Structure formats: structure tokens, C-alpha cells
A = this chain, B = another copy of it.
């Protein structure tokens, strides 16, 4: 599993995401070597989902209609055998968000749910508070993720200070990243899109490939921070896209900090 493999594969990622992060998500996917396509209308989402290599459902600026359309797309992706990633932005912040995620999870076979601790906690009936889009939690993210995977019957990625991916049994933790990621909107949402891109790769070891993607993402952030710490968040955002585009497997090998359990 590697960045090079992702670039060679050049997967088409069908993104149904929120209006805040659409552009950044597309540019981030292009940088890592995937091809983004955004399509939202009920008349076409099934057609797009069935030709895509993965589907991202991000509820950040949901409406009743967009959830309906996500379910149509999700079912088409299921039928086509493409992985579906759900990003439950703001789950727990409003009842509508929590219930909409539960509707999706009930009707679609979601491959991976990716959220911050608060969102994953809210979805899996564990304690947690969500403030805006940067929910933090008190509990151990590994335990949180494993419990959520079992409750939600899907793999779970919890991103934060530690990034965790689990299928409910095995776990990969990644320790890369930088706090400045929280000062650029959409870095969490983009990580969900990157997870979708890595999930599209054929592999026998699902946890490794997703863990690799999370760590690669964190390494790019660390390198971007080193370049721009004297400048600020605007330059960091630009450098982060640069680094996602230039990142090599050698970089990940050298700087990546994984732990498998």
C-alpha cells in the first residue's frame, strides 16, 4: 500500500459533500492523485456512483433532500461494490444531523464512518460533546472507535490528536498530523475523502491501507507546518496542498508513526 499505488490507480471519487469544503476536497484529491467528481442530483447520483471507485457522503451542510440523494447514491455504490465513506459532520450538534446519519447507516451499507471523537461518540451512543465542527472527547479514541465499529457495524476512523482506524477487532493508530490542521476548514472533511480514495484500492489488508492514508496525510501536514510556521494559516493551507502533491512513500517511511494492535 502506498501513495504511488494510489497515483497509479487514479481512482474516481464521487463526492457528495458540503458547500464549505467542496473546492478544498477536490484540490486535495487531485493532489494525491485521485479524480474527484461532485454530483448531487437525484436524477444522476446513481449513474455517477456506479462508475466511481468510491463514494463519499459528507453531511456538513445537509438538507432533507441531500440525504435522500445520498441514500440513492449509496445504494448504487453498494450494488456496484464500491466502498462508501460516511462523514457525519456535526453529528450530535443537532438532532437532524444525528438522525440523518442514522438513516443513511440504516439504508446504506457504509464501509467506513470517519469523524472526530465527538461525532463518532454521538452516533454510537457514547458520551461526548461537539462544539461546531471540532468535537473533542474525554474517552480513549481506540476504545471509542472499536465500540463504535461494533455498534455501527462498519469500520470506523476517528481522527484527532491520534488517528484510529478499526474494524472493531484490529486497530491501526497513526500519530502524525499537526494542530494547525484545525485552523484550516475542511481538513477533517478532506481526510474523509482521502480515506475514500485509499479504500478504493484493492488490498487484502484494509486496516493497513487506511492507516497508511491517515499517516501520509499527517506527514504532509507536518511538512507543511515546518515550511510555514512563521507565516500563518493561509500559507499552511497552500503548503499542505503542495505537500499532498509531492508526498512520496519515502517520506511516509521516514516520518510516519504507526502502531498496530
Contacts and interface: CB of A to CB of B under 8 A. Distances in A.
Interface in A109-150: 131-134
Interface stretch (A14-22, A154-162, A168-176, A206-214): A14-22
Q: How many copies does the complex hold?
A: 3
A168 B59 CA distance: 42
Interface in A200-251: 231-235, 237-243, 245-246
A94 B47 contact: yes
A240 B246 contact: no
Interface stretch (A24-32, A77-85, A253-261): A24-32
Contact of A43 (B40, B64, B242): B64
Contacts of A44: 94-97
Contact of A93 (B31, B48, B131): B48
A47 B93 CA distance: 8
A11 to B, nearest CB: 10
Contact of A232 (B90, B132, B231, B245): B245
A166 interface: no
Contacts of A19: 19, 22, 38
Interface string A33-72: 0011111110110011001000000001111100000000
Given A26-B20, A26-B185, A96 B233 contact: no
Contacts of A93: 37, 47-48, 51
A23 B27 CA distance: 13
A12 interface: yes
A132 B242 contact: no
A28 to B, nearest CB: 10
Nearest to A14: B132
Interface of A: 12, 18-24, 26-27, 30-31, 35-41, 43-44, 47-48, 51, 60-64, 90, 93-97, 131-134, 182-186, 231-235, 237-243, 245-246
- Sorted from nearest, which 10 A-B pairs have the closest CB atoms? A232-B242, A234-B241, A26-B185, A44-B96, A234-B238, A44-B94, A35-B132, A43-B96, A47-B94, A37-B132
